[in-house]
Amino acid sequence: MNRKQVFIICGMCSVRCPIIAEVENGEICFLQGNPHVPAMKGGLCPRGAAGTALINDFERPHFPLIRDGERGQGKWRKVGWDEAFDYTAQQLKIISDRYGVRSLSFSDRGGPFQDLHKAFIKGLGSPNYTNHDASCARNVEHACLSVTGLGRKEVVYDLKNARQVVLQFRNIFEAVNVQEVNNLLDAMEKGCKLTVIDIRANISATKAHRFFMIRPGTDYAFNLAVIHELLANNLYDETYAGFWIKDLDSLESLVKPYTPEWAETETGISATALRQFVRDLSEAKPAVIWHPGWMMARYRHSFYVCRSIYIINALLGSFGAKGGLPFANKPAQVGRTGLRALADLYPPPAEKRADGAGWKYPHLSAGPGLAHLLYQAMDTDDPYPVKAYIAYRHDPLMGFPDPERLKQIFAKLDLLVSVTFSWSDTAWFSDVLLPLSPYLERESIIACKNGLKPYFFVRKRVVDPRSDTKADWEIIGGLSKRMGLKALSFDDIRDIWNYQLAGT
């Protein structure tokens, strides 16, 4: 028997846990969490443990396809990779010649490996890279920026050292982040208190020391009352606030009417319980984490709910504190050199983004912008036509409201390409399907995880693809060769790794 272990990064969700794959005779026989990462404790969530199902899925795309009928009709023509690359590149060139390179767009799932995709669309000369975050955590990002000037990933949740944790719009114990679950459980064993604010009794609520079953849509009222209590009774961190918080008097004036009694009529949570909750938070400061949530896009005022959470964290002095929200370090902050960015191979595009992020909407981060505003541009040709769209592991027809309306918009595209390892609504509606190898059958570019101890990580191929599929770097490389992007025309992943690591 030839049994070996391969240390990799899970690809079953956006958490990307460090795991080990055990391989025997070319077959994966076991997956487990990486025991060398303390918070993993060798564990893996059920989704991660099912990773081999992606390889064994006989219904997944096994070879490149070009549409041979109406969009969404399900009629396809099987082609080889050369023909798929040639056809896609030819269509991109036709569209670029007719509408300009700004008419090209690319979206992905975001995450640590997006540098390669940004480099590709940037190399083509288009500013229109976006990702799925518009339907996930953009509210959290913009709320954090508006309060602190930092992005949401520039702080760390120091769960294992927290004394009080508040989950509102976050259900850690039913989620799939193994390290967060273990760190919070360890903290609770050491005396950390957990509060859950939710409209339903989820698993996290059953493990909480305090559960507020709030009326739907009233979270903002609850949070305003918490801020009122912190300020009215001097329960906030006055020293911290004196150094770091601006316009505290304006905030105090704003929340003055929002007493716990007022909040009780709105939320159904008793004023007495709210007051005791705030006192407990104050006693635990600054080792308090009020989690800003994931997918904070539920109600009209969700942005302000998220802002209020960051404000509460600031009032408790949690930013930069052990057991609170310490700041994430980048390699340079620990005396190291970071990875060379593939996107730096090309100059910034001259054109403005079609979604208006950063210029029409200067308060919105221009990084990935907002995908739904890109789709509006596809529909209206305002500020200019967007006629080609490559969706990499992104299924907007599933991830955004009103898929039938979105199909009408996508029908205006001259080219829709899906890069995916599984069938999706968007893949089914595409003109070209480029099959991606499942994560256990592909390697990735090197990525950096910023945190208290920043580190590089990489996904390596565990087994060879059993179908005619390719890794993303192979797909980008194949298209780049045909589009004249010599700097991205890689034939070996090691050449990419060497480029990224140069000087580190």
**Residue ranges per domain, the chain?**
3-50, 65-130+339-436+468-491, 157-315
Band (395; pLDDT cuts 50, 70, 90): very high
Nearest by Cα to 171 from 194, 191, 138: 194
Tokens at residue 492, please?
A: 């070996």
| Residue scoring higher pLDDT (298 or 357) | 357
423-448: pLDDT as tens digits: 999 999 999 999 999 999 999 999 99
State the Cα–Cα distance between residues 305 and 41, nearest whole angstrom: 34
Structural contact between residues 469 and 436, judged by C-beta atoms closer than 8 angstroms: yes
- Give the 3-state secondary structure of residue 235: coil
State the Cα–Cα distance between residues 210 and 222, nearest whole angstrom: 15
Nearest by Cα to 424 from 459, 400, 388: 400
Instruction: Supply the pTM of this predicted model.
Output: 0.94
Band (298; pLDDT cuts 50, 70, 90): low
The reported pLDDT for the residue numbered 2 is 80
Cα angle 195, 187, 50; round to 5: 90
State the Cα–Cα distance between residues 85 and 71, nearest whole angstrom: 20
The reported pLDDT for the residue numbered 1 is 60
Architecture of domain 65-130+339-436+468-491 in CATH?
A: 3-Layer(aba) Sandwich (3.40)
31-83: pLDDT as tens digits: 999 999 999 999 999 999 999 999 999 999 999 999 999 999 999 999 999 99
In the predicted structure, residue 266 carries a pLDDT above the cut 90: yes
Name the β-bridge partners of 390: 106, 417
Is the Cα torsion angle 16, 111, 56, 176 positive or negative in sign? positive
Nearest by Cα to 105 from 128, 83, 130, 71: 128
The reported pLDDT for the residue numbered 138 is 85
- CATH number for the region 157-315 comes to 3.40.228.10
The per-residue pLDDT of the chain, averaged, comes to: 95
Residue that is written with structure tokens 């990799």 in the block:
8
The reported pLDDT for the residue numbered 191 is 98
Structural contact between residues 326 and 320, judged by C-beta atoms closer than 8 angstroms: yes
In the predicted structure, residue 297 carries a pLDDT above the cut 70: no
The reported pLDDT for the residue numbered 155 is 96
The reported pLDDT for the residue numbered 137 is 85
State the Cα–Cα distance between residues 457 and 443, nearest whole angstrom: 11
- Segment 284-310 mean pLDDT: 88
Band (365; pLDDT cuts 50, 70, 90): confident
The reported pLDDT for the residue numbered 471 is 97
Architecture of domain 3-50 in CATH?
A: Single Sheet (2.20)
In the predicted structure, residue 258 carries a pLDDT above the cut 80: yes
- Range with lowest mean pLDDT among 99-113, 115-129, 294-308: 294-308
Give 150's Cβ-side CA count (13 Å radius): 15
